[in-house]
Amino acid sequence: MTLVAILSGAGISTDSGIPDYRGPNGLWRRDPGAEKLVTYDAYMSDPQIRRRSWRMRLDSPAFRAEPNVAHRAVAELDRAGDGAVRVITQNVDGLHQRAGTPARKVLELHGTARSVVCTGCRARFSMEEALARVEAGEDDPPCTVCGAVLKSATVMFGERLDPHVLGQAMSIAKACEVFIAVGTTLQVQPAASLAGIAAEHGARLVIVNAEPTPYDEQADDIIREPIGTALPALLRQFHAS
């Protein structure tokens, strides 16, 4: 049984209407100031940043987005049962799970935008509930348990990744026979290092991305075609493995 690990980045979700961050039309290039909205120190110290952040979420396409053919292809490979599939995602949109990949097989390295967490007591609430409060007039809704600042349950710039989740991801990278990096620039560490770890431990490294990455030299295959056609075709190879 082949263990296929899939590291997905923002590029896998652009066909669902969610813009990426660092691509030619990425969010950071169009609005460099937007990066402050997801930077922990700026968010915590500046109520105006928090208000902008909540307004941005109200308008975010991520909460209206539906899984696309690439997300569904990953779920279909899992359902086929011809091998073991594990998804390690840098995305926070939850679309792999909505496409049908079981949550227990998806590691969300950067957390989830579908929940919020209290920075004081660590209580968690649904993002839907928090946004309803914003729509009702609370421009910076505090925790209803302790009154502290609420934030998206995503890993902001300046925050550490969950060491347990990262440890699991590294174990998968070391154990898999195939490691597919799709829609990621492989520039954000430590997530990007998983590609190198997999290659060093003997995995076939496949990179599906429109632009070059720092790990291209270690890759066995590089695919520059659109993800919506390239990934389903690639994953079909493993249905009979």
Neighbour count for residue 225 (Cβ, 10 Å): 12
pLDDT at 35: 78
* 120 and 229 share one domain: no
pLDDT in tens, 181-215: 999 999 988 999 999 999 999 999 999 999 999 99
* 138 and 223 share one domain: no
* 202 and 185 share one domain: yes
* 216 and 134 share one domain: no
* 104 and 173 share one domain: yes
C-alpha angle 73/78/81, rounded to 5°? 130
Identify whether 164 is a catalytic site residue. Answer: no
C-alpha span between 202 and 183 (Å, rounded): 22
pLDDT at 26: 52
Residue tagged active-site, from 71, 96, 110, 164: 110
* 234 and 205 share one domain: yes
Report the percent of the chain where pLDDT is more than 90.
80
* 165 and 199 share one domain: yes
Range of the domain at 56: 20-64+113-154
What is the pTM assigned to this prediction? 0.89
pLDDT at 21: 59
**CATH number of domain containing 118:** 3.30.1600.10
Residues of the chain with pLDDT under 70: 20-33, 240-241
Total domain count, the chain: 2
* 101 and 217 share one domain: yes
C-alpha span between 99 and 113 (Å, rounded): 16
Sign of the C-alpha dihedral computed for residues 167, 168, 169 and 173 taken in this order: positive
